[in-house]
């Protein structure tokens, strides 16, 4: 006489579906004020909240091309990269990491790979900096996954 396993598998599957269903994301409910807000107001409301003090505005915004000559102030995120004019032996600059630990960057050129890390600003001037092949990198502000970085000759 053969015995078959208990048929509790469908019951377990149904229980798993019910449990997982409770983990589903809650739909976003729009604020009625947003419906009448201008597009720029809506953009400001939909921005992720800042985890620290609001960083100062960058002189060059997010225009990474402004950094080609190693003289800029930009907002960067992990994975950003830009071409440099090679004056300092660096043809490509990469933002390797932006997180609570600070800013990690690398510079690449013909036969050159340089890298460095700056800890988060401590709120006092002067900010932490390091020199990469003749130009200075300063971490001015850190905000979650974004950083305000300044390059200077």
Provide CB contacts within 8 A for 54, sequence distance 6+: 143
Task: Report domain extents, the chain.
Answer: 64-152
Query: Which tokens go with 61?
Result: 């915004």
Q: State the average pLDDT over residues 71-90.
A: 97
Residue pLDDT, tens place only, 31-61:
434 444 444 444 433 333 334 444 568 999 9
Above 90 in pLDDT, residue 93?
yes
Across all residues in the chain, what is the average pLDDT?
75
**Counting runs of H as helices and runs of E as strands, what totals does the chain give?**
3, 8
What band does 7 get if pLDDT is binned at 50, 70 and 90?
very low
The structure tokens listed for 45 are 């409301």
Q: How far apart are CA 70 and CA 135, in angstroms?
A: 7
Helix, strand, or coil (residue 149): strand
Going by the DSSP 8-state scheme, the letter that residue 79 receives in this structure is T
pTM to 2 decimals?
0.64
């Amino acid at each position: 006489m053969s015995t078959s396993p208990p048929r509790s598998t469908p019951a377990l599957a149904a229980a798993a579906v019910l449990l997982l269903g409770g983990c589903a994301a809650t739909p976003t409910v729009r604020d009625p004020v947003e419906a009448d807000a201008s597009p720029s107001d809506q953009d400001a409301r939909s921005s992720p909240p800042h985890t620290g003090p609001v960083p100062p505005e960058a002189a060059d915004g997010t225009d990474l091309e402004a950094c080609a000559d190693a003289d800029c102030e930009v907002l960067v995120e992990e994975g950003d990269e830009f071409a440099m004019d090679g004056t300092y032996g660096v043809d490509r600059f990469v933002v390797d990491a932006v997180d609570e630990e600070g800013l990690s960057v690398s510079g690449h050129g013909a036969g050159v790979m340089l890298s460095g890390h700056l800890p988060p600003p401590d709120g006092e001037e002067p900010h932490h900096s390091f020199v990469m092949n003749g130009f200075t990198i300063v971490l001015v502000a850190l905000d979650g996954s974004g950083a305000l970085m300044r390059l200077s000759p």
